[in-house]
Chains A and B, each alone.
Chain A
Amino acid sequence: MLRLAPLLIVTLLVAPILAGLTMALLPAFGYLPALGGERLSLAPWRELLAQPGLARSVAVSLASGLITTAVSLGVVLLFLAGASGSRLDRWIRRLVAPLLSLPHAAAAFGLAFLIAPSGLLARLVSPGLTGWERPPDLLLVNDPWGLSLMAGLVVKEIPFLLLMSLAALPQLDPDRRIAMARSLGYRPLTAWFKVVAPALYPLIRLPVYAVIAYATAVVDVALILGPTLPPTLAVSILTWFHDPDLSRRFMASAGAVLQLGVTAAALVAWWCLERGATRLGRHWLARGGRGQGEQPLRLAGRALILLATLSAFVGLVGLALGSVAGFWRFPEALPQSVTAAHWLRALPTLAGPVATTALIAIGATLCALVLTLAALENEQRSGRHPAQGRLLSALTLLYLPLIVPQIAFLFGLVVVMESLGIRPRPWLVMFGHLLFVLPYVFLSLSEAYRRLDPRWSQLASSLGASRHAVFWRVRLPLLLAPLLTAGAVGLAVSIGQYLPTQLLGAGRIATVTTEAVSLAAGGNRRVIGVWALVQACLPLAGFALAVGLPRLIWSRRRGMQGAP
């Protein structure tokens, strides 16, 4: 059984994506017998290219992918380079970590509350600085160039890239590298960029690519913060797909293929940038500049990461204020009256979606944990490690669902399910979530699992414990904390999913996320505040358990307090 686990995982991840892509590709060229498309033709493409504003949609999608990634990565690297282990730096790191669990949609709503013309920021400086007595007529949210969209994405991608880097850094032993470079006369920040960054980047390259892919094709954040006339390509595709005129599905399929191309183009463009940076970097390294004027850069790194982090938190505060606000006249920074009415009115409608969200998240996470443990345990027992050839490629496949844009294969998958006669059910949505939960759970757990000192299991078997006993009585208890963290990551990923729920549930399965995002168009801040807050809090419950449970269980075991 165990031996089949890696194969099962790869099949589970790759087969739906291939099937989905195929069923997007065929209709894109006019072939979908169920809708009367019997012959291959280019008509869907002609129709797609005739859509007004298509070029703008594509440009915004492409730009948001590249700019979001460049800004997020730049801020993270600058912060890490300038970080000196001071109390401020550690405080910033601790502040950033919980943001990873914050669903994209909630972060986007928070930012929208913050920067909207009638938002918290405008209220704080009005009328004092601006003289505004009423909200100015500015298109700050949903701006046509997608700047607010990119800002919303940057707020979420910074924590992701930062934590990925922090996880990879220890194996590079950065302190000794820096000490060596400084003994050769390099200033600390320059030393970091010259001796740590070049070794770090290859380790976080795949997460960086995942950010590019995500930012070019995101739907929920684009519905909340993105441009509207025309929207980004991914949002347009979704609109066409949901058009009551079913023949538009052909054009939607062509759009999905185009989206695949846009994401691929963004990845290729980034790869070229990488090559260019490597070449320039080599020159810069060899020139031997020791660095000067570092202080401003160091400050910039901290200031930017604080700005991004604080805007997320203040946005959440804005959401909370909005959800309890009674009367709230424009330039006032705080509501004149506070009321529980919005919460009371929302409560009866919250229960169902919260339960569905929890059910789907727990189901998908448990499946992912079992599969991940089976694959990792198989790796241990067969003594084969990922660095040895074959498994390396399997590991790269784990990233496939994170690098192929969701919209490009998900609705092809819907077509597959429809033609198989499979009706939307919670388990189908759960399966859709598993595609995205599994990679994150695997990535989150595999490091700890592989790093566990092999002498523990050797010792246990020399004491007569069978392989099963070693797994249940030694490895699992020792890895309880990382196991629960991986579970919390899985829950958070599932709770934040919008598109798989919407498409595989055919709009009939309501989770907290789909409900919250559907409120975006309405613009009722009170109700949005309630739903977005609930959405933000659910993943936190998982992380609270992941942190609290091991402390409770191991309260009398000092050796289990730190990381294993």
Chain B
Amino acid sequence: MTAGHRLRLQAIEISLEGAPLLRLDAAVGPGEVLTVMGPSGSGKSTLLAYLAGFLAPAFRASGRILLDGSDIGRLPAERRHIGLLFQDPLLFPHLSVAGNLRFGMPRDKVDKGERVEAALAQVGLAGFGPRDPATLSGGQQARVALMRLLLAEPRAVLLDEPFTRLDLPLRHEMRRLVFDRLRQAGLPSLLVTHDPQDAAAAGGPVVDLAGQ
């Protein structure tokens, strides 16, 4: 995969109707995971929404989001090249597994079918392409969601408590899989969680929003 990307969050400040909510200044290198922790209401989800480009109009934000040196703060979400992983796998229910994987692939790829097959094989789901995503187990769905994210070739990744809904053994397995893949792809990631074990598994720096 590609050489690696860098995410730099420069003097980010978000406020809600004049009241300051959070501030953050951080740099995330290729393959690195920055963990943001904090109780609910500390603005974790707002931070993700801002970085991904979905900040609700009631919020005000300042600062710069630099991805590989260019400011993406004013770009629409679809041109930021920032991938998202939510608590739920959120596989599009109207598409097949392969349809889900193709959805995010850049248009100019000619060998989409082969890439889909290869991606499925990498996570032990070879031949699952034509399946209805609703017939997959929770763990299988989570793996498809991860591969969908990677096939879209993002330059940075935001993780919104992606492991909380999984049961314990699966959680360990998914943590390892997700962090390994992100590291391999050289993607800078930002993980939002309230589970200290997530932070430990991520192995990167930790920012606690509660202290602000």
Output the least CB separation between A555 and chain B (Å): 10
Is B94 in contact with A459, judged by CB distance below 8 angstroms? Answer: no
User: Chain B, 73-88, contact with A by CB distance < 8 Å: what is the 0/1 string?
Assistant: 0001111111110101
Query: When chains A and B are docked, how far (Å) is the Cα of A329 from the Cα of B19?
Result: 82
Output the least CB separation between A450 and chain B (Å): 14
Cβ-based interface call for B52 (8 A) = yes
Is A559 in contact with B78, judged by CB distance below 8 angstroms? Answer: no
Is B93 in contact with A464, judged by CB distance below 8 angstroms? Answer: no
Cβ-based interface call for A560 (8 A) = yes
Is B86 in contact with A459, judged by CB distance below 8 angstroms? Answer: yes
Cβ-based interface call for B168 (8 A) = no
Nearest-CB residue, chain A, relative to B100: A463
Is B134 in contact with A558, judged by CB distance below 8 angstroms? Answer: yes
Is B92 in contact with A456, judged by CB distance below 8 angstroms? Answer: yes
Cβ-based interface call for A54 (8 A) = no
Q: Which residue in A458, A478, A558, A564 is a CB contact (below 8 Å) of B132?
A: A558
Output the least CB separation between A564 and chain B (Å): 8
Query: When chains A and B are docked, how far (Å) is the Cα of A477 from the Cα of B94?
Result: 7
Contacts of A264 in B (CB 8 A): none
Query: When chains A and B are docked, how far (Å) is the Cα of A465 from the Cα of B152?
Result: 10
Cβ-based interface call for A455 (8 A) = yes
Is A559 in contact with B57, judged by CB distance below 8 angstroms? Answer: no
Query: When chains A and B are docked, how far (Å) is the Cα of A461 from the Cα of B83?
Result: 9
Of the four ranges (under 10, 10 to 19, 20 to 34, 35 or more), the interface on chain A belongs to 20 to 34
Contact count A vs B, C-beta below 8 Å: 76
Which positions 539-564 of chain A face chain B at CB distance < 8 Å?
554, 556-560, 564
Cβ-based interface call for B135 (8 A) = yes
Contacts of B149 in A (CB 8 A): 463
Q: Which residue in A454, A466, A477 is a CB contact (below 8 Å) of B78?
A: A466
Q: Which residue in B93, B106, B154 is a CB contact (below 8 Å) of A559?
A: B93
Cβ-based interface call for A462 (8 A) = yes
Nearest-CB residue, chain A, relative to B78: A461
Contacts of B38 in A (CB 8 A): none
Query: When chains A and B are docked, how far (Å) is the Cα of A466 from the Cα of B103?
Result: 12
Query: When chains A and B are docked, how far (Å) is the Cα of A271 from the Cα of B154?
Result: 58
Contacts of B135 in A (CB 8 A): 558
Which positions 460-477 of chain A face chain B at CB distance < 8 Å?
460-467, 470, 473-474, 477
Query: When chains A and B are docked, how far (Å) is the Cα of A478 from the Cα of B93?
Result: 8
Could you list which residues of chain B lie within 8 angstroms of chain A, going by C-beta atoms? Answer: 52-54, 56-57, 76-84, 86, 88, 90-94, 103-104, 106, 132-135, 148-149, 152, 154
Given A454-B54, A465-B103, A558-B134: 12 more A-B contacts, CB < 8 Å: A383-B57, A458-B54, A459-B86, A459-B90, A460-B92, A461-B77, A462-B84, A467-B78, A554-B94, A557-B93, A559-B93, A559-B134
